[in-house]
Structure 1
Amino acid sequence: MRFSKMHGIGNDFVLVDARRAPLALAPEAIRALADRHTGVGCDQLLSVEAPRDSSCAFYYGIWNADGSPSGQCGNGVRCVAAWLHRAGALALEQAVRIESPSGPVTVRVLDAGRVTVDMGEPLFDPPRIPLLADARADSYALALAEGPVEVGAVSMGNPHAVVVVPDLADPALERIGPQLTTHPHFPQGANAGFVQVLGRGHLRLRVHERGAGWTQACGTGACAAAAVLRARGLVDECVQVDLPGGRLQIDWPGAGHTLWMTGPAAFAFEGEWLAHA
């Protein structure tokens, strides 16, 4: 199986051209491919496929390193757009709708290595995240082994728990992240984002992703952190988000508007995977 290895500020992917036939791999095969010692190694597997929605030009599938499916991936969709541009299927500055497992997004390749994406409007209603809560709130107290933790909750096509912290180097986060990712109040799991506010236009973020663990970057996590803090009135509509792998720009005026994410997408190498599980 031919593949492209790509990354968006360190969040890395194996991307497969499946435009002629949908990709069908068992979870154990995906885990074998994603293994960093005996496979290719990646946070997520992406497939580029024919559209299922007639309003879209393409469909892309997303699978986490543990073989589980994902609804959305912000860094991944930028890589999909860059791959389509290199394949001659997407012109520079051409706005195109492509379909994710959680619905359509609009992408635009700004140059050879930079892509902007309309990620849709953040969803805060608990049933749409999904989150087990009686009513929407700015924050929710979730019980953990260390005690209660206040989280903001939002869906960016996948569920997110956002925690504001004073110090991203706090060793307690290593324990809290995995607990939030699998917390029973998130019936589908959640990406756990820990955000430090450096100013009204500047955030620093770490994310423990469901199905992948700690990653160098999480595009939807950056969107989620900016959206939660914007809804609380703590940041401006244009925010720079620094992750361990690099920087993303998030633009969201607020409720009633869609959120845009802009950042790089890079090719690492091409290969052929032989070790099917």
Structure 2
Amino acid sequence: MRASFVKMHGLGNDFVVLDAREKALPPITAGLARALADRRTGIGCDQLVLLQPSAVADFRMRIFNSDGSEVGACGNASRAVALLHGAPATVETGGGTIEVRPSQGGAAVDMGEPHFGWDEIPLAYAMDTMALPVGWEELSNPVAVNVGNPHAIFFVPNCEKVDLEELGPMIERDAIFPERVNVNVATVDSRDSIRLRVWERGAGLTRACGTGACATAVAAMRRGFADRSVTVTLPGGPLHIEWGEDNRITMTGPATESFRGSFDWGDFA
């Protein structure tokens, strides 16, 4: 069978979107996700996104990293899906139900409430998530936040100087993170401006990470480094993050459709 796809990106974090809301597709396997994500022999993407019907929201979004692993949330994919859907909607994700509102050239996404309990991250054992008593070479005492997926945020003088290609996979797979972790290195330039680079679990270095921007903004606010409304600038560009008095995070930023096509399912399954 042939399947249609839409290639999209949010600040360079790119996705292959499969829409199965009206016509079911065969099950997505880790092997299929890896094959489609391959940039030499597949379509190429950081994440594969599957849209399906939902009993609790307007539709369901499932996210598979380029290594085939499934994750609960993706902020940039949420904006891309909002743009594709074309109207405000509630979206069921593995990390909870979110709300998306498309706007010209992008979308605003209600990402829900952050979680800070050690067992909510999750961590292997109890420790202070405001400053984990651990370190890897020059990176130490990160803040841990779960915004639908787990993040460790390190505040450093210059995030561009950190060798994330070396340290990222080491931290991602450390035993204290039983579900692995997204690794964020951030530099606070002012109370409303943060620079950020992210090593995403299962995808590696990406040009942007929406949940990473949300987690980093909230971590900076909790530590008193930033106000409740900040711009987080990633290698792919800026995202605006607000943490409301209702404890919910709103992320606003661009999304783009790159192209559309189709493939033979049997070539990748």
Q: TM-score, normalised by structure 1?
A: 0.91
- The CA deviation at 1:181 is 1.2
Q: CA RMSD in A?
A: 1.5
- Number of residue pairs matched? 264
- The CA deviation at 1:233 is 1.3
1:197-235 deviations in Å (ceiling 9; x for gaps): 110000000000000000000000000000111111110
| Mapped contact 1:141–1:148 kept (Cα < 8 A) | no
Letter in 2 for 1:10: G
Q: 2:241 aligns with which of 239, 243, 250?
A: 250
| Mapped contact 1:195–1:225 kept (Cα < 8 A) | yes
| Mapped contact 1:97–1:106 kept (Cα < 8 A) | yes
1:238-263 deviations in Å (ceiling 9; x for gaps): 10010011110000146x51010000
CA distance in structure 2 between the partners assigned to 1:97 and 1:148 by the alignment: 37
Partner of 1:26: 29
Task: Flag the 1:76–1:199 CA change in 2: closer, same or farther, 3 A.
Answer: same
Task: Flag the 1:137–1:213 CA change in 2: closer, same or farther, 3 A.
Answer: closer
Partner of 2:74: 73
Letter in 2 for 1:99: E
Letter in 2 for 1:7: H
Partner of 1:123: 115
1:227 aligns with 2:230: no
1:107 aligns with 2:100: yes
- The CA deviation at 1:22 is 5.6
| Percent identity between the two aligned chains | 43
Q: In structure 2, the residue corresponding to 1:169 is in which secondary structure?
A: helix
Q: In structure 2, the residue corresponding to 1:225 is in which secondary structure?
A: helix
CA distance in structure 2 between the partners assigned to 1:24 and 1:222 by the alignment: 31
Partner of 1:270: 260
- The CA deviation at 1:180 is 1.4
Letter in 1 for 2:65: N
| Mapped contact 1:194–1:205 kept (Cα < 8 A) | yes
- The CA deviation at 1:28 is 1.1
Partner of 1:178: 169
- The CA deviation at 1:176 is 1.6
Task: Flag the 1:171–1:157 CA change in 2: closer, same or farther, 3 A.
Answer: closer
CA distance in structure 1 between the partners assigned to 2:159 and 2:138 by the alignment: 18
- The CA deviation at 1:114 is 1.6
- The CA deviation at 1:21 is 2.1
1:172-206 deviations in Å (ceiling 9; x for gaps): 33322111111111100011011011100000000
| Mapped contact 1:124–1:136 kept (Cα < 8 A) | no
| Mapped contact 1:72–1:101 kept (Cα < 8 A) | yes
- The CA deviation at 1:23 is 5.4
CA distance in structure 2 between the partners assigned to 1:204 and 1:147 by the alignment: 18
Q: TM-score, normalised by structure 2?
A: 0.94
User: Greater shift after overlay, 5-14 or 125-134?
Assistant: 125-134
1:62-106 deviations in Å (ceiling 9; x for gaps): 100011101000000111111111xxxx2xxx4x21111121001
- The CA deviation at 1:142 is 2.1
Partner of 1:84: 85
CA distance in structure 1 between the partners assigned to 2:169 and 2:118 by the alignment: 21
The unaligned stretches of length 5 or more in structure 1 are none
Q: In structure 2, the residue corresponding to 1:196 is in which secondary structure?
A: strand
